[in-house]
Structure 1
Amino acid sequence: MTYLGEGWDSRAELVGGWVERRPRRPEIGPQLVRETVVMPWLAPLLPLPVPVPVVMSHDPLVVRHELVPGELATLNATQGRQLGEFLLALHALPVEEASARGVSPRTLPVERFRGEVLPHVPEGATLLDALPGVPADTLVHGDLGPEHVLGRDGVLTGVIDFGDLHIGDPAVDLAWALHGTPPEFADALAGTYGVTDQLRHRALIWHQLGPWDEVLYGNDIGDPQVAAGGLAGVRDRLKIWVSPTR
């Protein structure tokens, strides 16, 4: 048994080539069970390997899936094109079928953002003001970042962690991919996916909002250092300006 670490929602161990995950909080249990329902449907429809968990135990809850191979990706142009193809496939899937398997829209904690984050960064008000107009009509990964995109030998080998899968704005999945990656990766992805100026702008909004959740999480677990790290991230991302040529 090898301890793999833990995220905000679950902890993971490697047991004989299988990844076993356990919820860190009771409310995460239904989320893990939902993955065992939706991922068997989703996996064959995507061009990259993804986890397909099964329930091993209900009390305590344990789910497991085969280890998706790879390490943190190097983010080159080839991988950008691969991720663009992956997102095209994911975003084209019928939301009705996802809904039937328990996937729902995400309710954004806007009032908590206003009460717990905005007083520290009042310049972020324009981000919150933009949220009522964003679409919510696409099946999205919901937490696509460098730790969830795996690669090896210059190509992508898989995408992991679908706990935040929901019906939302496709620009959510383009946030880090366009605004937190090297230009060669971002440009290749944008060309493959067909990113419009409107999508790029919304992706920047979501990218800048990313650390706001970290502030709330730090407050929830009573860890001021986590909350302070989130606020530092909020301030850093609010400084991002995107050239109209990118």
Structure 2
Amino acid sequence: MTYLGEGWDSTAVLVDGRWVQRRPRRPEIGPQLLRETAVMPWLAPRLPLPVPVPEVVSLDPVVVRHELVPGQEIENLTAAQGRQLGEFLRALHAAPVAEAAARGVGPLTLPVDRFRAEVRVPGAEELLARLDDLPADTLVHGDLGPEHVLGRDGVLTGVIDFGDLHVGDAAIDLAWALHSTPPAFAAAVADTYGVTPELRERALTWHRLGPWHEVLYGNDIGDHEMAEVGLAGVVQRLGTRVSHR
């Protein structure tokens, strides 16, 4: 058994060199892991890249496992990989929302009150106000970033970590890909997916909002350094001075 590390929600170990075994870090994450065992077997065959397909190992305590998805975080993103990701997102976002909902996938609830209370950003009300008008009509990964897109030998080999899968705005899955990657990769994603100017603008809203979650999580676990890193991200993406609780 090899310890793989821990994320915000779960810890993971590699068993027999094949199985990634996950346990919730907090009691409320148990139902989230079990939901993945219901939705991912249905979703995986619809997608052009490998994804985790977990199964239940234990209910008390909650333990799930899935076969190891090949690859590692990519250092140099290319246009070819951008086209792969664009195709992946088109397939994911075409998945029937009603069928996902029947398997327990619901909408995203943003902690807007906590954003206002714990990250006080002059002039940021405009950003938070935009959240009220964003659509919620698409099945989305919800946390798509460089640590969750795997590759090997110049091609993408999988997408992992579907704990934030929800019915929401398609633009959330394009935030990192369009606004925090090399130009050739971003352009290939946009061309393959069919990004419109309005969708690109919504993706920028989600991109700017990303670091706020890091501040809240740092506050929750008492990690001052994490909260400060989140604040630095807020400063960089919003270009304003900030303070927090």
TMscore range, shorter length? over 0.9
Q: Spell out, residue by residue over 1:147-183, the C-alpha distance to the aligned partner (whole angstroms, 9 max, x if none).
A: 0000001100000000000000000000000001000
Residue 12 (str. 1) matches residue 12 (str. 2): yes
- Give the 4+ runs in structure 1 shifted more than 6 A: none
Q: Spell out, residue by residue over 1:14-46, the C-alpha distance to the aligned partner (whole angstroms, 9 max, x if none).
A: 011100000000000000000000000000000
Task: Provide the C-alpha distance between the structure 2 equivalents of 1:124 and 1:13, rounded to a whole number of angstroms.
Answer: 40
| Counterpart residue type for residue 92 of structure 2 | L
Structure 2, unpaired ranges of 5+:
241-245
Task: Provide the C-alpha distance between the structure 2 equivalents of 1:76 and 1:109, rounded to a whole number of angstroms.
Answer: 35
Residue 168 (str. 1) matches residue 139 (str. 2): no
Q: 1:184-195 to 2 correspondence within 5 Å?
A: 184-195=184-195
Task: Provide the C-alpha distance between the structure 2 equivalents of 1:200 and 1:217, rounded to a whole number of angstroms.
Answer: 27
Q: 1:1-246 to 2 correspondence within 5 Å?
A: 1-16=1-16, 17-73=18-74, 74-117=76-119, 119=120, 121-239=121-239
Cα distance, 1:239 vs. partner? 3.7
1:123 alignment partner, SS class: coil
Q: Identity over the aligned pairs, expressed in percent?
A: 75
Cα distance, 1:238 vs. partner? 1.5
1:198 alignment partner, SS class: helix
Residues paired across the two proteins, number? 238
| Counterpart residue type for residue 234 of structure 1 | V
1:64 alignment partner, SS class: strand
Task: Provide the C-alpha distance between the structure 1 equivalents of 2:175 and 2:91, rounded to a whole number of angstroms.
Answer: 17
Q: In the alignment, what sits opposite 1:244?
A: none
Q: Under a length normalisation based on structure 1, what TM-score does the superposition of the two structures give?
A: 0.95
Task: Provide the C-alpha distance between the structure 2 equivalents of 1:47 and 1:131, rounded to a whole number of angstroms.
Answer: 30
Cα distance, 1:222 vs. partner? 1.7
More displaced, 25-34 or 73-82?
73-82
Cα distance, 1:124 vs. partner? 2.1
1:97 alignment partner, SS class: helix
1:158 alignment partner, SS class: strand
Cα distance, 1:105 vs. partner? 0.2
| Counterpart residue type for residue 199 of structure 1 | L
| Counterpart residue type for residue 53 of structure 1 | P
CA RMSD of aligned residues (A): 1.0
Structure 1, unpaired ranges of 5+:
241-246
Q: Under a length normalisation based on structure 2, what TM-score does the superposition of the two structures give?
A: 0.95
Task: Provide the C-alpha distance between the structure 1 equivalents of 2:167 and 2:9, rounded to a whole number of angstroms.
Answer: 19
1:151 alignment partner, SS class: strand
Distance 1:239 1:76, change over 3 A: farther
Cα distance, 1:125 vs. partner? 2.0
